[in-house]
Structure 1
Amino acid sequence: MSRVFQSFCLEAGAELLKAFRAPEFIIPTLGMPVAFYSLFAIMIPGSNNNAAYLLATYGIFAVMGPAIFGFGISVANERDRGWLDLKRAAPSRGVNYIGAKVCSTLLFSSMSLAIIYLVAGFAANVAMPTATWTMLLFVHVLATFPFILLGLCIGFLCNGNAAVAISNVFFLGFSALGGLWIPVMVFPQGMQTFAHFLPTFHLSEIALAVSGAPGQRDVSYHLIVVAIMTLILLAATMLAWSKQRSK
């Protein structure tokens, strides 16, 4: 085993151990998406008719939390405590630090998705071909990455207290205004137009198209917009990282 890979494994193991020791992170991350989905797709009378539709949108909601909070608040707190300065001084690659957090985020995102998928299949009676389930899972997991970049920007630019507030604003704002909780079509016209500037709207439209939800959707358009937004977030993250390293 090479030293680089061994260093990455140790970093990833430490990151996972830290996450599993933080119930204030695990409980909301895994519990809130499935609680919201169960309420709107099962408990409300007649909501079963929308269970497949809501699975597509709440899957995006499920992966946002681990990405935004796992990076935004975690990185900001580690900056405040001087851990990033210590890591820069240690003979460890920066990519191991980021990669370990990405692995942790993908694990918790996958766990959250697995819980929602089980509830959808067994409690909400959502039935789709295996290929559709697979494609939907693929879309949901990939949707994690734009929010990872957003979380990194927050973590590199804000202190711990500010990161908590700003992460919550983005998390709740993107969820509500991007159509993850309530379909955008019921919004006033001005809010519908504003939703087109949010990544959650375009990601949910892609997920809805994959799941076969009713309605016409231009998947190519939404993919292009998501790609542009991701590149912008990547550039912002690199700028924030360079600013952090120059301090």
Structure 2
Amino acid sequence: MRAIMITELKKNLQDKGLLFWMVILPILFTVLFIAIFTGNTDETTRKQVIVSIIPGYVVMFVFFIIISMVSTFNKDRDKGMTARFASTPLRPYFYMLGKWLPYMFIVFIQIFVLLLFGKIVYNVPLEQPMVLLILSIFLTFTVTAIGLATAVMVKTENMGLAITQIIALGGAMLSGLWIPHDMMPDFMQTISYFLPQFWAHQAFQDAMAGNINYSDLFQTLLILFCIGVAGFVLAIFRYPVFLKRSVT
């Protein structure tokens, strides 16, 4: 498992396309939308918009890691690597953990870099850093678990790309990452309570402002954890089907 993990991590750290999706594009979007929405506003409104946009785009763009996860699992399957690993004493869940853990590391670093960018460039408050750290860990777990489930379920990379866009962009729209949650229609607000993006975004905003309480934090962490566990369990159950499609 350790060899798989190290190999996967090195491969992804050398991928310039991943750097674009995970860091450069989120920063460009953040700068652009802050410029658009704060152009003619007073200082108080500007700060409120910035504190909403930065964690919103952090939460939205972490889901694009699913594209890379789908790609690496599909390549392993089509090149016969999955079948080869299956023929060894390595248990399936160790193989999946070896592929999964590097992406958790990458997403965590992504969140750190984007929040640091917000702090340096826009001086966003980070009033509860330990809470933000815990939230980042749980969000990382949830996102990559969803990615793991998606990776073993889809048949093609194009299908994975389409599903990622639905999850990332559709989830962002329905969770209030683009517009304030209380300005959304009632039916969209109801849907948002079932999405991890909503809970993560609200918690990040509150922790950045120093307003989050422990009961709300525990509720958010529990929801993120349960969604992540559901993704991992689904991936485990779908792995035999994924293995059958592997080239031998």
Instruction: Give the counterpart letter for 1:139 in structure 2.
Output: L
Structure 1 match to 2:137 = 141
Give yes or no for contact 1:37–1:116 (8 Å, CA) kept in 2. no
In structure 1, which of residues 173, 181, 186 is the aligned counterpart of residue 183 of structure 2?
186
2:22 is equivalent to residue 29 of structure 1: yes
Higher relative contact order (CA 8 A, sep 6+): 2
Q: Measured at CA, do residues 101 and 70 of structure 1 come closer, stay the same or move farther in structure 2, by a change above 3 Å?
A: farther
Q: Partners in 2 of 1:155 and 1:88 — Cα distance?
A: 17
Match of 1:3 in 2: none
Task: Please say which of residues 46-55 and 31-40 is displaced more in the overlay.
Answer: 46-55
Kindly state the Cα deviation for residue 122 of structure 1 after the two structures are TM-superposed: 1.7
Shift of the 77–167 alpha-carbon distance from structure 1 to 2, 3 Å rule, reads farther
Look up the match of 1:64.
Answer: 63
Question: Could you tell me how far 1:219 is from its partner in structure 2?
Answer: 4.1
Please show how residues 145-156 of structure 1 align to structure 2 within 5 Å: 145-156=141-152
Letter matched to residue 236 of structure 2 = M
* CA distance, structure 1, for counterparts of residue 13 and residue 57 of structure 2: 23
Amino acid at match of 1:80: D
- Note the residue ranges of structure 1 that are not aligned, 5 or more in a row: 1-6
Residue of structure 2 in register with 1:4 after alignment: none
Q: CA RMSD in A?
A: 2.8
Q: Distance in 2 between matches of 1:229 and 1:104?
A: 20
Pick the aligned partner of 1:38 from 11, 31, 35.
Answer: 31
Q: Give, as a single letter, the amino acid of the residue that structure 2 aligns with 1:65.
A: F
Q: Does 1:127 align with 2:125?
A: yes
State how many pairs are aligned.
237
Q: Compute the displacement of 1:190 (Å).
A: 1.3
After the TM superposition, which residues 46-195 of structure 1 pair with which residues of structure 2 at under 5 Å, given as runs?
Answer: 46=41, 47-66=46-65, 68-129=66-127, 132-160=128-156, 161-195=158-192
Pair 1:199 & 2:183 matched: no
Report the alpha carbon displacement of residue 245 of structure 1 after superposing the two structures with TM: 4.5
Q: Is the contact made by 2:126 and 2:207 (CA closer than 8 Å) also made in structure 1?
A: no
User: Would the aligned equivalents of 2:60 and 2:169 in 1 still touch at CA under 8 Å?
Assistant: no
One-letter amino acid matched to 1:190: F
Letter in 2 for 1:36: F
Inter-partner Cα distance in structure 2 for 1:33 and 1:51: 14
Contact 1:77 / 1:159 at 8 angstroms: preserved in 2?
no
The percent of aligned pairs where both chains have the same amino acid is 20
Contact 2:150–2:160 under 8 Å retained in 1: yes
Question: Unpaired runs of 5+ in structure 2?
Answer: none
> In the alignment, is the contact (CA less than 8 A) between 1:76 and 1:154 conserved in 2?
no
Q: Which residue of 1 aligns with 2:223?
A: 225
Deviation (angstroms), 1:96: 4.2
Aligned to 1:177, what secondary structure does the other structure show?
helix
Structure 2 SS opposite 1:172: helix
State the one-letter code of the partner of 2:98. Answer: A
Report the Cα offset of residue 139 of structure 1. Answer: 0.5
Cα shift at 1:30? 1.6
Equivalent residue letter for 1:57: G
The question of whether the paired residues in 1 share the 8 Å contact of 2:139 and 2:224 is answered with no
